[in-house]
Amino acid sequence: MKIVTRFAPSPTGNLHIGSARTALFNWLFAKNTKGKFLLRIEDTDKARSTKESINKILDGLKWLNLKWDSEIVYQSKNQKRHKEITEKLLAKGLAYKCFCSEEDLDKMREEAKILKKPFRYNRMWREKNPKDAPQNIKPVIRIKSPIQGETVIDDIIQGTIKVSNEEIDDFIILRSDGSPTYMLSVVVDDYDMNITHIVRGHDHLTNTFRQNVIYEAMKWNKPTTAHIPLIHGSDGSKMSKRHGAIDVEEYKTKGILPDALINYMLRLGWSHGDDEIISLENAIKWFSLKKIGRSPAKFDNEKLISVNSHYIKVLNNDEIVKFLESYYIRKYKIKIDEISIKRLNLGLNDIKSRSRDMIQLAEMSLFYCSKFPLSLSKKAQKYINKADKTTFKDLIVVLKNIENDFKKQKIEEIMSKFLTEKGLKLSDIIQYIRAMITGLDVSPRIYDIMEILGFKEIKKRIESFING
């Protein structure tokens, strides 16, 4: 049997980190078993589904490089088929028309409240003749759920779970306006798409019991399920905005690399020994749904940053330059020229080792590409305001002596001699130099920077401040 999985988001918002992890686990399972990974957009909720959300979901999946097989299925286009199944269930006596008024339902809710029980429809129209129905009410269609016995699910992750059929109500499969409900649409689409395994969040477990009713009624083979525990914040509560970013687009904006986010999401509930850094190749090779734990995973932003730092360190410089070209044009209207690229290739390794995210890397690299005036940090501006101009004029004169051999060793030697003659220590002036040539108060090693920029550029930058 060929494994077929699916990711089926509702386009009512951005691609949430929990949904992205679900997509990842489905994708990895399909890749591991040489199966198929399908994408279905569940856009039947026309009031909340938006084109913008669809685009953001697709963009997020593409950014994460989670490529789906075959064409995208849009659930809204299958409504004719969903209604067809409803008619079949009605014809077989496995579904019925319910003519309950809002008053009838409110009364049931009130009774449940008094009895301190969850609200369940009382099946009042299950055996009634539709001929006795009031003329002013458009009926909904309800499935006839089994009343006796129990429903058993053998879940790959959660194990064997049993629910008394008394707990499963006769839920609606077709609304009074003729539109199919989520419960029906999902089952029909999964069947028509030949889905063999449904991998989704633990919050869908109750849906699985209800959807099984439709599978049983239609005598369709049920897919194997795997319900993934939810992601919680570091404090153990449900993941929310107060724990940091919650959707993929935010992580992208904050400078998280897609490979890093993939790696980190993989480790949220799944493990391979003590391995923290796992290549995509190994992830595909090692992935198993059986290795997913049952407990909620805790999202730790610092661990994500740590993983991201690793991926930045090993990222190809050409890829970084591509990112910087886009970032600098977008934010600063700066176009990277050949000289800047040469400087970046010499200085990036040091900056990569210091960067938590791509935004920090970009801001720390800006001085290699900037045209005057330099963008100054607040602390850098304070240093420049306090700088002794005479000292730095004298420094330029001294540095000119090694203009044709402007290497960090030579720079360090001549600077040491200069400072001794002035009765100064490096710590007395280094922050001022850093501010003048980088615009930053924190940077890579100053002698490395000076060598990369070269004497002429160093002279120009220092003079722009002491003469300005």
Q: What is the mean pLDDT of residues 429-448?
A: 91
pLDDT over threshold 80, residue 244: no
- CA end-to-end distance (rounded Å), the chain: 75
Pull the structure tokens for residue 346: 């010499």
Q: What is the mean pLDDT of residues 97-104?
A: 92
For the ranges 230-239, 246-255, 294-303, the lowest mean pLDDT is seen at 230-239
Give the span between the Cα atoms of 377 and 452, in whole angstroms. 21
The identity of residue 249, as a single letter, is E
CB burial of 36-72 (b: ≥16 within 10 Å; e: otherwise) equals bbbbbbbbbeeeebeeebbebbbebbebbebebeeee
Name the pLDDT band for 243 (thresholds 50, 70, 90).
low
Q: What is the mean pLDDT of residues 371-380?
A: 75
pLDDT of the residue at 373: 60
